[in-house]
Chain A
């Protein structure tokens, strides 16, 4: 017998070796608790903190405290939760779709595509007919970002996948090319931006939840929530896809339909989150990878826990970004890149065989 037998801790039921479902459920509870704690932490975390958060939450605090908690910290915290969840889930779905642990929306140009869409909407949105602007309102930027990430994902999948097989090298290289291309187009549009728009773009481009507001939150939240609800329904199909497209189809999965939904899900969550916070890297690759190490790759538990751990991770990264050079703030994208970059290199070294083909 192997020394590497994997099993779940017995949680009141007899666990079969190799069955990690109860471990995954156990982890969900822990992460749910951790999320609750970090949400409270995030509300209470301020630069010069005299705020009585609980009083403000229950409506008995001072007007100043209530404004700080309800109008500044609350949308920021909720944005962090949704964007963190969206980034981690889109990473996990994309890795399942490409059958590769190195696929990440930030690395392969999907976020850049979303950024292009968002910038184009911010700068060129004013040229749209008034009726259209009135119709889409705040949703213009998230929707444009969604279209940008959708187009990039479709293009990337078309280039990197042939006959159901994804070449990792092609995927990463095509991702770099697409990222550069959309980056160039974005730069071109920025050139035409007005001063006001430029300030908007600079702030946004660094990847930050500091600019979160109720208006931005409510514009992006519906799309993110929709994709977060849709993602777990892909789990069974993504599991089967791990065996390859043919085997998945023999198991009864409508592979083409499932791929379309997966691409829409990735594009929706990446587009909507980039629209609020700009590109925040590495959450989408680090969170699913850590979870796979602990609970295994079964997407049914993975997608749920990725949402929870992604939210926790982003709130913690936000807390770090607020405290390192307090009272000033680092953009959160710098924090996730500083922590995620080395982690990604570690994954890369461990998975050398995946890349060297």
Chain B
């Protein structure tokens, strides 16, 4: 099962941000979208999730996303926003329970009581359920939102169909330990059959965890493939407009990207 986007054009105001992007992601894989600021990564993600109006088509598990009702779509995929501001003073548990809005695959009162606590434990926030969301740090808030998103599509497969997890910079506000927790969680979700599409800033985490990488620049896709194929000296240096040195990390064999200082005088 796949998510296939074809010829996606997005305009914000009068400016066209995406110029006919083709994008494919497979279930069972973690697909990372990388690229410099303003390259259109988040815009692509927001088009894929239907948050922005677009021209072109997005087909998920064989269904045209533009033709599916919101509540049906909510059973198939969940979206972690970059940052969320909450209008009222909800507790952490109440925020995570919002993930139940779409309804559960197996909706029993017992399940809907247990699942939010399980999800909080999964993101390393066990014991936080009674806190006020507003009192948390940025990284904690992001993980609470992730727990809410997980509750929405807890089982990676539903009736033989993969479910999709969209993550917009899921680790940008996190310390290194929690970055690994969240990336591992995304990997596990893909390993269990779900599809994960993540906009990433950290190239090293991308190299460590992604199955597929899409490199974007200036509203277009420059390269698609495995991390080894995409994360190369020439491609990255050209896209990010700076000198990057891609090394191979001996024990894991993964890429290890280091910035090179600008040549002095």
Contact = CB atoms under 8 A, between A and B. Distances in A.
Interface of A: 1-2, 4-7, 16-20, 96, 99-101, 236, 239-244, 246-247, 249-255, 292, 296-298
| CB-CB nearest 4 A-B residue pairs | A252-B74, A17-B130, A18-B93, A297-B88
B94 interface: yes
Contact of B51 (A246, A254, A296, A298): A246
Contact of A296 (B91, B113, B127): B91
B135 interface: yes
B89 A250 contact: no
A244 B129 contact: no
B89 A239 contact: no
Contacts of A250: 49, 51, 74, 77-79
Contacts of B94: 18-20, 296-298
Nearest to A288: B88
Interface of B: 46, 49-51, 69-75, 77-79, 81, 84-95, 98-99, 101-103, 113, 117, 127, 129-132, 135, 152
Contact of A253 (B70, B77, B78, B113): B70
B9 to A, nearest CB: 19
A296 B91 CA distance: 8
Contact of A292 (B51, B75, B89, B103): B89
Contacts of B79: 246-247, 250
Contacts, number: 111
B74 A18 contact: no
A262 to B, nearest CB: 14
Contacts of B103: 252
A16 B89 contact: no
Contact of B73 (A18, A101, A252): A252
Contacts of B84: 243-244, 247
Given A2-B131, A239-B98, 11 more contacts: A1-B127, A4-B132, A16-B113, A16-B117, A17-B91, A18-B131, A241-B87, A243-B95, A253-B101, A254-B69, A297-B94
Which of A5, A243, A253 gathers most chain B CB within 10 Å? A243
